[in-house]
């Protein structure tokens, strides 16, 4: 006799309390394998595919696409077997589960050797058939696909590609991104997206449109409001001649090897400055009335995506060289644009670097990324008249700004930090003293 187990929306980590259902990946009556993704949800941090820790037949789904569910609310129910004799006469446990759902993204590593359960028929459900000799995994069109990466699913979906037409080149037929890209090159298709159309905002009066502050936009609004409400911030700024910094980057990139990004060089300067002025690499514990200073730099950086502004975090940025920083910035930026950043990659920063120069602006007074204590802003680098060596010349000039929590330090510390950053931009050799 089948036993019905309820799977609730798991804790997605980092204080997230709700998620919006974007797309169901299974229908009622589908047979699902252990750890198979069953629904795609959007949190305030990222798009997440949620896997079910049970293997069996889906008997119910809770919530339509576009519905917000709180953590702990029922998500689906799955009918699994209890106990039945195995082929050799021994009993086999059929109420299986991987035991855990990874906080924020996917599941924990399942045991290397896991017995698959034979499922008893459930009224109204299609019977499971064997695939590659494995019981409990359907062979029908609606069955689970050998795809793990949500990026691969999204790439296929956006280009109208049916993954069931592909043969994966990965282990056990796993469909990789390279397989999708090869199929798209071989048979170009018009770009499509299966993402649900945004719900229209409610118009309450002629010429007035109201859009709910929810999801990522709502989370950003809440965080910025809290920052301005709780942090007594101040901003100082300085213009710097970045000509030598740009020349140094050009020289590094013509010497061969991986390309070094400007953001990586700025991050390297930033971590060196924080080593000299550690007061800015901190947070305020308001309840204890203490300043908590960190001995590591988890560097956040602002990245604009189709879903809004996100701030991925480079872990242990102080221990990375320019090449490693360039690679990590590129990886996190691509994941942000694909919507696959995990909550763990979006939180835990101790200081933020904001290169708003990419938007073609010279200066800004950024709002601190609560609960951090400071943010360095970098404007565009453009040719401007500048006195160099006692003569007027055209130089590559950048405006740097530092917004800081006045509780952690005074203007002398903030000014010293910013001046050091400017000195490194003007004379990159200054940075060698701290290596």
Considering the domain architecture, whether residues 395 and 345 belong to the same structural domain is answered as yes
Whether residue 205 lies inside any domain: the answer is: no
Considering the domain architecture, whether residues 269 and 396 belong to the same structural domain is answered as yes
Confidence of residue 126 (pLDDT cuts 50, 70, 90): very low
Considering the domain architecture, whether residues 168 and 140 belong to the same structural domain is answered as no
Tokens of 248: 């140094």
With 0-12 CB in 10 A as exposed, 13-18 as middle and 19+ as buried, what is 223? middle
Whether residue 352 lies inside any domain: the answer is: yes
CATH code assigned at 276: 3.30.559.10
CATH code assigned at 112: 2.40.50.100
CATH code assigned at 190: 4.10.320.10
pLDDT reported for residue 298:
97
Considering the domain architecture, whether residues 170 and 96 belong to the same structural domain is answered as no
Contact between 363 and 379 (Cβ < 8 Å): yes
Cα separation, 422 vs 245, in Å, equals 10
The residue-averaged pLDDT of 139-166 equals 66
Residues 38-62: pLDDT tens digits?
A: 998 877 656 778 888 888 999 999 9
Considering the domain architecture, whether residues 182 and 127 belong to the same structural domain is answered as no
Average pLDDT in the chain? 79
Considering the domain architecture, whether residues 228 and 184 belong to the same structural domain is answered as no
Considering the domain architecture, whether residues 18 and 162 belong to the same structural domain is answered as no
Whether residue 18 lies inside any domain: the answer is: yes
Considering the domain architecture, whether residues 81 and 156 belong to the same structural domain is answered as no
Q: Which of 296, 298, 318, 406 is catalytic?
A: 406
Percentage of the chain beyond pLDDT 70 is 75
Considering the domain architecture, whether residues 86 and 222 belong to the same structural domain is answered as no
CA-based angle 243:248:249, to the nearest 5?
100
Residues 264-308: pLDDT tens digits?
A: 999 999 999 999 999 999 999 998 999 999 999 999 998 887 777
Considering the domain architecture, whether residues 221 and 194 belong to the same structural domain is answered as no
The residue-averaged pLDDT of 152-176 equals 75
Considering the domain architecture, whether residues 130 and 271 belong to the same structural domain is answered as no
388 tagged catalytic: no
Residues 56-104: pLDDT tens digits?
A: 999 999 988 888 888 889 999 999 875 434 444 444 444 455 544 443 3
Contact between 379 and 399 (Cβ < 8 Å): yes
Cα separation, 366 vs 273, in Å, equals 19
- 10 Å Cβ neighbour count for 163? 18
Look at the chain and report how many structural domains it folds into: 3
Contact between 270 and 354 (Cβ < 8 Å): no
The residue-averaged pLDDT of 340-363 equals 90
Considering the domain architecture, whether residues 234 and 377 belong to the same structural domain is answered as yes
The residue-averaged pLDDT of 151-179 equals 75
List the domain range (segments joined by +) for residue 117: 3-144
């Amino acid at each position: 006799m089948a036993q019905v187990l309820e799977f609730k929306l798991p804790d997605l980590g980092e204080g997230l309390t709700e998620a919006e259902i974007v797309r169901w990946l299974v229908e009622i009556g589908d047979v699902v394998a252990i750890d198979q993704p069953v629904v795609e949800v959007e949190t305030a941090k990222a798009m997440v595919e949620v896997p079910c820790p049970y293997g069996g037949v889906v008997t119910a789904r809770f919530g339509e696409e576009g519905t917000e569910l709180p953590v702990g609310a029922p998500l689906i129910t799955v009918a699994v077997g209890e106990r039945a004799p195995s082929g050799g006469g021994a009993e086999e446990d059929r109420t299986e589960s991987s035991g855990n759902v990874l906080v924020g993204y996917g599941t924990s590593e399942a045991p290397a050797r896991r017995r698959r359960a034979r499922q008893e028929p459930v009224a109204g459900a299609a019977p499971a058939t064997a695939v590659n000799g494995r019981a409990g995994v359907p062979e029908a069109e609606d069955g689970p696909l050998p795809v793990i990466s949500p990026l691969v699913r999204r790439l296929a979906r956006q280009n109208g590609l049916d993954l069931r037409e592909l043969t994966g080149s990965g282990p056990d037929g796993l469909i990789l991104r390279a397989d999708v890209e090869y199929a798209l090159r071989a048979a170009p298709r018009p770009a499509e997206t299966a993402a649900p159309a945004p719900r229209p905002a409610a118009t309450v009066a002629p010429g007035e449109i109201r859009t709910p502050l929810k999801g990522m936009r709502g989370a950003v609004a809440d965080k910025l409001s809290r920052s301005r409400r709780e942090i007594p911030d101040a901003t100082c700024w300085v213009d710097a001649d970045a000509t030598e910094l740009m020349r140094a980057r050009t020289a590094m990139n013509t010497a061969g090897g991986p390309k070094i990004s400007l953001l990586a060089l700025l991050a390297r300067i930033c971590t060196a400055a924080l080593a000299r002025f550690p007061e800015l690499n901190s947070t305020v514990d308001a309840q204890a009335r203490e300043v908590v200073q960190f001995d590591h730099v988890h560097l956040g950086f602002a990245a604009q995506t189709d879903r809004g502004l996100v701030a991925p975090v480079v872990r242990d940025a102080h221990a990375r060289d320019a090449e490693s920083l360039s690679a990590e910035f590129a990886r996190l930026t691509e994941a942000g644009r694909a919507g696959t950043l995990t909550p763990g990659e979006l939180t835990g920063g101790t200081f933020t670097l904001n290169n708003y120069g990419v938007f073609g602006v010279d200066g800004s007074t950024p709002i601190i990324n609560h609960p951090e204590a400071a943010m360095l802003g970098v404007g565009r680098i453009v040719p401007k008249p500048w006195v160099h060596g006692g003569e007027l010349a055209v130089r590559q000039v950048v405006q740097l700004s530092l917004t800081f929590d006045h509780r952690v330090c005074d203007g002398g510390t903030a000014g010293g930090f910013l001046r050091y950053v400017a000195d490194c931009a003007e004379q990159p050799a200054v940075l060698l003293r701290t290596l």
